[in-house]
Each structure stands twice: as C-alpha cells, then as structure tokens.
A and B are shown apart, each in its own frame.
Chain A
Amino acid sequence: EPEVTQTPSHQVTQMGQEVILRCVPISNHLYFYWYRQILGQKVEFLVSFYNNEISEKSEIFDDQFSVERPDGSNFTLKIRSTKLEDSAMYFCASRGGRDRHYATNEKLFFGSGTQLSVL
C-alpha cells in the first residue's frame, strides 16, 4: 500500500526557534492535511491544502504556522517561533479524491508522524 512519508521522526527544539516538518504525500493525491496529537489526547485538525492554497484552517493554525508545497512532491509545515504548547506529534495526511467530500471508504492516509518536543 502507498505511504505518506514524514521526516524527521523526532525533532527537539528550543522555545522561540523555527521548525520545519516535512512530508511526502502519496504521489497522485490532491488533498493534503496537517493534524496534531498532544500526548494522550485526540487527533486535531490543523490545516487542509488543495490546489496550492489553504482550503481550511483551524483556530490552532495561527500566524506562527504556515504550509507550503514547494516542489510538487514535498508538503511542509513551518512553525515560526515555537512555544512549549506546540509539543505534540504532528501527522501529515493525504487523499486522492477529486472532491472535498469523501467518497465512501475513501482513505485519508496518515504518515507515521513527527514527534516535536519544544524545550
């Protein structure tokens, strides 16, 4: 089965530093997402990206966050000035649907995540 690849698997940074989390979505997919999961809590939506622009973002996704698809294969999440509360597992996800609505049993493929620790 195709996979979403995320790097690095672990990232440790100092508060106030910038981090870039990288993802390679599945090659023919059109919709891309970032989610995060604070330890022991639910998976939370951050942002969706389609046709080279943000299609939706959550309240968590403030001005400190940005996403980019620089070269047609990578999909990055940048946090400009990290805070302690940004510590979480960040998941990239992609799906191949031609419509923003899910087809029945359409899979949203998640990567294995990047564990971000802000010290």
Chain B
Amino acid sequence: QQQVKQSPQSLIVQKGGISIINCAYENTAFDYFPWYQQFPGKGPALLIAIRPDVSEKKEGRFTISFNKSAKQFSLHIMDSQPGDSATYFCAATPNTGKLIFGQGTTLQVKP
C-alpha cells in the first residue's frame, strides 16, 4: 500500500498550545518520513524529517514521534504561534526518491 493517512484535516489551537498531527502508513519499505509546511501560494517546504531507526526527533519547537511497530508518526508543535498557521503534510518515501504525501492538515493558531 502506497498511502499515507493523515489526521486531523483541520486543527485550531490557541497561541502557546500544542498542535498534534498524526500520520499512519502501511508500507514497511518506507524509510524516510519528512514533514512539510505550506503557506498559501507557496510550495511545500521541509520542516523536519525522521528515519525509522529513531523514535523521536526534536528541532526547536517541532518534534516528530515515530512508532515503527504501529506504523505511525506524528508532529508536535510546542508553544504554537500564529505564524505557524499553515498547511502541514506528512510524507514518506519507499526507497525510490519520490515522496508520498498525506492529505494535509490546515492549522490555525489563534492569538
């Protein structure tokens, strides 16, 4: 299965709160799991990425948690800011270089 399933479709969080976006996959050949951030009118931009041999990766306010046995991974945005309001896509790649994207989550951070 080549799909990556992402939830929720949309998320509203208060400033300073934690935003959590979840993704699940089926293909065990996937070996690289990036998260992309997209602002309106722009292309997606890499936010943070993880490999399945690591259970957690943190960069600043952004953390990926990875559960290999459950085939799930999630993005946590700590201390969410209005500037984080964007669409977030999880993705995976099955060793071929192409990225398979999730459906996207529209995050709105209220001041």
Say yes or no: A107 contacts B46, CB within 8 Å. yes
Q: Which residue of A lies closest to B41 (CB)?
A: A112
Q: Which residue of B lies closest to A99 (CB)?
A: B97
Q: In the bound complex, what is the Cα–Cα distance between A110 and B101 (angstroms)? A: 14
The distance from the CB of B11 to the nearest CB of chain A, in whole angstroms, is 16
The distance from the CB of A40 to the nearest CB of chain B, in whole angstroms, is 8
Say yes or no: B102 contacts A93, CB within 8 Å. no
- Known contacts A43-B89, A101-B32: does B97 contact A55 (CB below 8 Å)? yes
Q: A residues 77-106 with Cβ under 8 Å of B?
A: 91, 93, 100-102, 104-106
Q: A residues 30-53 with Cβ under 8 Å of B?
A: 31, 33, 35, 41-45, 48, 50
Say yes or no: A45 contacts B100, CB within 8 Å. yes
**Chain A residues whose CB sits within 8 angstroms of the CB of B42 once the complex forms:** 112-113
The distance from the CB of A1 to the nearest CB of chain B, in whole angstroms, is 10
- Selected from A33, A42, A100, A113, the residue in CB contact (under 8 A) with B103 is A42
- Known contacts A31-B97, A56-B97, A56-B98: does B103 contact A104 (CB below 8 Å)? no
Say yes or no for B31: interface residue by CB 8 A criterion: yes
Say yes or no: B104 contacts A42, CB within 8 Å. yes
Q: In the bound complex, what is the Cα–Cα distance between A105 and B32 (angstroms)? A: 10
Say yes or no: B31 contacts A101, CB within 8 Å. yes
- Known contacts A42-B89, A42-B102: does B45 contact A110 (CB below 8 Å)? yes
Say yes or no for A20: interface residue by CB 8 A criterion: no
- Known contacts A101-B32, A104-B49, A111-B43: does B89 contact A45 (CB below 8 Å)? no
Say yes or no for B96: interface residue by CB 8 A criterion: yes
The distance from the CB of A25 to the nearest CB of chain B, in whole angstroms, is 13
Q: Which residue of A lies closest to B90 (CB)?
A: A42
Say yes or no for A108: interface residue by CB 8 A criterion: yes
* A/B interface sample: 10 pairs, CB < 8 A: A43-B99, A43-B101, A45-B99, A45-B101, A56-B97, A58-B98, A93-B43, A102-B32, A104-B51, A110-B44
